[in-house]
Amino acid sequence: MATNKPRYDYYQTDTSVNVSIFAKGLAESDVSVTFGNHSLSANLSSTPPQSLELQLFDSIDSANSSYKVLSTKVDVLLCKATPGKQWTSLEIKSGDAAPPTYDSATAGAESAEVGGSNSQAAPAAAPAVAAAGRPRSKWDNLQLADDDDGEDGEGASKAAKGSSKGEGGVDAFFQQLYADADDDTRRAMMKSYTESGGTSLSTNWAEVGKGEVKARPPDGMEARKW
C-alpha cells in the first residue's frame, strides 16, 4: 500500500544535521528509523502510514546517529562523517558525485593519530547554516543585536549571548529555537521578522496574526522600504 511522505525540516551545526519529521501522537513502537552511510529511512505507523527515504548530501556516522520520538515530531540526529563540512542541501542532487563511504573504525584510528601529532587544529568552520525543507528566507540570516526595548528583548539577548559561548554560537541558538517551536510560533517568528524589516521578532501568533507588524528601528534611525 502506498504511503504518504511526511512534512520535515532540518538545520545543521558543525558536527551534525538535525532533521525534524512532523507527525503527532506517535509512540516509540510506531516509528522505525534506519541509518545508512549516506541515507536515511523513516517509517511512521500513523494514519495514514507515512515514510521518508532520503539520499543524503554527504556521508554520516550511522553508528552514532540517533532519533527521539516527541509528542509532535520525530527528531533525528545525523552525525556528520566530516565535522565542519557545511551541507548545501539535505539530499544529494542529481548529477552530484556520490559521497564517500564512512568507516567509523578507520575514522577513529585517523582521529587518534591526528590527536597525537604536533599539527595545529583546523580552523573552526563557519557558523551553522539553516537549510531547507522550506524556502530560504531572511530568517536564515538573522543576527542578534543588543537593545534596550524591554524585558523580552533583554532576555532574548542574554540567552543568545550565553548560547554563543557554545558550539554554533548565536546561529545555532536561533536555529534550535525555531526547530523546536510549534507551527504557530514559527509563523509568528517569520511574519514579525519579515514584515518589520528585521527590527522585530515575536513568538506570539495570537498578537502577530492580527495584522501587519510595524517596523521598530533603533533610536535615531528611520525605517525605509526598499
Is it the case that residue 6 has pLDDT exceeding 90? yes
The stretches of the chain forming alpha helices (DSSP H) are: 104-115, 151-164, 169-180, 183-195, 205-208
Confidence of residue 116 (pLDDT cuts 50, 70, 90): very low
Question: In this predicted structure, what is the pLDDT of residue 167?
Answer: 45
Residue 56 lies in a domain: yes
* Phi-psi map region of 52: left, alpha, beta (phi>0 left; psi -120 to 50 alpha): beta
Residue 163 lies in a domain: no
Per the structure block, which three cell numbers stand in for 124? 573552526
Question: In this predicted structure, what is the pLDDT of residue 2?
Answer: 62
Distance CA 63, CA 67 (A): 12
Per the structure block, which three cell numbers stand in for 72? 509532535
Question: In this predicted structure, what is the pLDDT of residue 3?
Answer: 72
Distance CA 164, CA 118 (A): 29
Confidence of residue 73 (pLDDT cuts 50, 70, 90): very high
Q: What range defines the domain where residue 54 resides?
A: 1-135
Confidence of residue 177 (pLDDT cuts 50, 70, 90): confident
Residue 202 lies in a domain: no
Per the structure block, which three cell numbers stand in for 216? 521598530
Question: In this predicted structure, what is the pLDDT of residue 77?
Answer: 96
Exposure of 101 in the CB half-sphere (CA atoms within 13 A): 4
Nearest to 102 by CA among 145, 63, 136, 149: 63
Question: In this predicted structure, what is the pLDDT of residue 45?
Answer: 92
Q: Which of the two residues, 56 and 204, has the higher pLDDT score? A: 56
Q: What is the mean pLDDT of the chain?
A: 75
Q: Which of the two residues, 143 and 33, has the higher pLDDT score? A: 33
- Structurally, how many domains does the chain consist of? 1
Q: Which of the two residues, 170 and 111, has the higher pLDDT score? A: 170
Residue 102 lies in a domain: yes
Residue 223 lies in a domain: no
Q: Encode pLDDT of 38-71 as tens digits.
A: 999 999 998 889 999 999 999 999 999 999 999 9
Residue 194 lies in a domain: no
Residue 156 lies in a domain: no
3-class secondary-structure state, position 34: strand
Q: What is the CATH number of the domain that holds 40?
A: 2.60.40.790
CA angle 216, 195, 191 (to 5 degrees): 115
Confidence of residue 132 (pLDDT cuts 50, 70, 90): very low
Amino acid making up residue 221: M
Residue 91 lies in a domain: yes
CA angle 147, 153, 159 (to 5 degrees): 105
Distance CA 195, CA 75 (A): 30
**Residue whose C-alpha cell reads 539530499 in the numeric block:** 91
Distance CA 67, CA 76 (A): 4
pTM given for the model: 0.46
